[in-house]
A and B are shown apart, each in its own frame.
Chain A
Amino acid sequence: MSTHGMALDRLAPYADDALSLEERAAVQRHVQGCARCMLELKRLLELNAVLQALAPAPPASSAAFWLRLRARLPRPASFLRVGGFRPGRRPALAFALACVLALTLGTGAFAAGTSLPDSPLYPLKRMEERLQLDLAFAPQARFQIEVQLANERLREARAMSGLGKTMLAAASLRDFNQLLSRIAPRLSNDDLAAFQLQLTALQQVSNVHRDDASGLIASQLGLSGEPTPSTAQAGDSQGLGNGGTDDGQGNGGVPGDGHAYGKGHGKGPVQKPN
Chain B
Amino acid sequence: MREPAANPEPFEGDAEERRLIDRSAQGDQDAFRQLVQRYHRLVISVAFRALGDMGRAEDVAQEVFLKVYRGLPGYRHEKPFVHWLHRVAGNAVTDAVRRVKPIISLDGLEQPPPSREADPQDMVARHDLQRAVRHEIAKLPPHYRDAVALQVFAELSYEEIARTLEIPLGTVMSRLNSAKRLLRDRLGPLVAESQPSMPPNTRPDRAVPFHRGQR
State the A residues within 8 Å of B (CB): 9-19, 28, 31-32, 38, 40-58, 60, 62, 65-66, 68-70, 72-77, 114, 155, 158-159, 162-163, 190, 233, 236, 248-252, 266-268, 270-272
9 tightest A-B CB contacts, nearest first: A17-B209, A57-B48, A16-B210, A12-B177, A251-B29, A250-B29, A18-B158, A13-B173, A76-B27
- B152 is an interface residue with CB less than 8 A from chain A: yes
Chain B residues near A233 (CB-CB < 8 A): 1
CB-contacts of B177-215 with A (<8 A): 177, 179-181, 183-184, 187, 191-192, 194-195, 198, 202, 204-205, 207-211
CB-contacts of B145-160 with A (<8 A): 151-153, 157-158
Chain A residues near B28 (CB-CB < 8 A): 250
What string of 1s and 0s marks CB contacts (under 8 Å) between B109-150 and chain A? 101010000000000001001100110000000000000000
**Across the interface, do B66 and A72 meet the contact criterion of CB distance under 8 Å?**
yes
CB-contacts of B47-105 with A (<8 A): 47-49, 52, 54-55, 57-59, 61-62, 65-66, 69-70
Q: Which of B36, B198, B209 contacts A66 (CB 8 A)?
A: B36
What distance in Å separates the Cβ of A63 from its nearest Cβ neighbour in chain B?
Answer: 9
* Chain A minimum-CB-distance residue to B210: A16
- B176 is an interface residue with CB less than 8 A from chain A: yes
User: Cα distance A12–B184 when bound, in Å?
Assistant: 11
**Across the interface, do B44 and A16 meet the contact criterion of CB distance under 8 Å?**
no
Chain B residues near A54 (CB-CB < 8 A): 49, 52, 130, 133-134, 152-153
What distance in Å separates the Cβ of B109 from its nearest Cβ neighbour in chain A?
Answer: 7
- B13 is an interface residue with CB less than 8 A from chain A: no
**Given A12-B173, A28-B205, A236-B1: A267 and B32 interface contact (C-beta under 8 Å):** no
- B45 is an interface residue with CB less than 8 A from chain A: yes
Q: Which of A57, A73, A267 contacts B4 (CB 8 A)?
A: A267
What distance in Å separates the Cβ of B115 from its nearest Cβ neighbour in chain A?
Answer: 9
Chain B residues near A248 (CB-CB < 8 A): 1
Chain B residues near A17 (CB-CB < 8 A): 207-210
User: Cα distance A268–B59 when bound, in Å?
Assistant: 31
**Across the interface, do B133 and A69 meet the contact criterion of CB distance under 8 Å?**
no
State the main secondary structure of chain B at its contact with A: helix
Q: Which of A10, A32, A57 contacts B44 (CB 8 A)?
A: A57
**Given A73-B32, A73-B66: A58 and B54 interface contact (C-beta under 8 Å):** yes
Most chain B CB within a 10 A radius of its CB, from A28, A38, A42: A42
**Across the interface, do A47 and B204 meet the contact criterion of CB distance under 8 Å?**
no
- B40 is an interface residue with CB less than 8 A from chain A: yes
**Given A57-B57, A68-B62: A12 and B180 interface contact (C-beta under 8 Å):** yes
**Across the interface, do B36 and A65 meet the contact criterion of CB distance under 8 Å?**
yes
Chain A residues near B176 (CB-CB < 8 A): 12-13, 16
Chain A residues near B41 (CB-CB < 8 A): 57, 60, 62
Chain B residues near A50 (CB-CB < 8 A): 129-130, 133, 187, 191, 194-195
What distance in Å separates the Cβ of A127 from its nearest Cβ neighbour in chain B?
Answer: 22
User: Cα distance A72–B70 when bound, in Å?
Assistant: 11
**Across the interface, do B204 and A28 meet the contact criterion of CB distance under 8 Å?**
yes
* Chain A minimum-CB-distance residue to B50: A54
**Across the interface, do B210 and A57 meet the contact criterion of CB distance under 8 Å?**
no
Chain A residues near B70 (CB-CB < 8 A): 74
Chain B residues near A46 (CB-CB < 8 A): 184, 191-192, 194-195, 198
4 new A-B contacts at CB < 8 Å, known A9-B174, A46-B198:
A40-B181, A52-B208, A54-B152, A158-B55
User: Cα distance A45–B48 when bound, in Å?
Assistant: 23
**Given A12-B181, A69-B62, A73-B66: A51 and B152 interface contact (C-beta under 8 Å):** yes
Most chain B CB within a 10 A radius of its CB, from A54, A58, A159: A54
* Chain A minimum-CB-distance residue to B73: A76
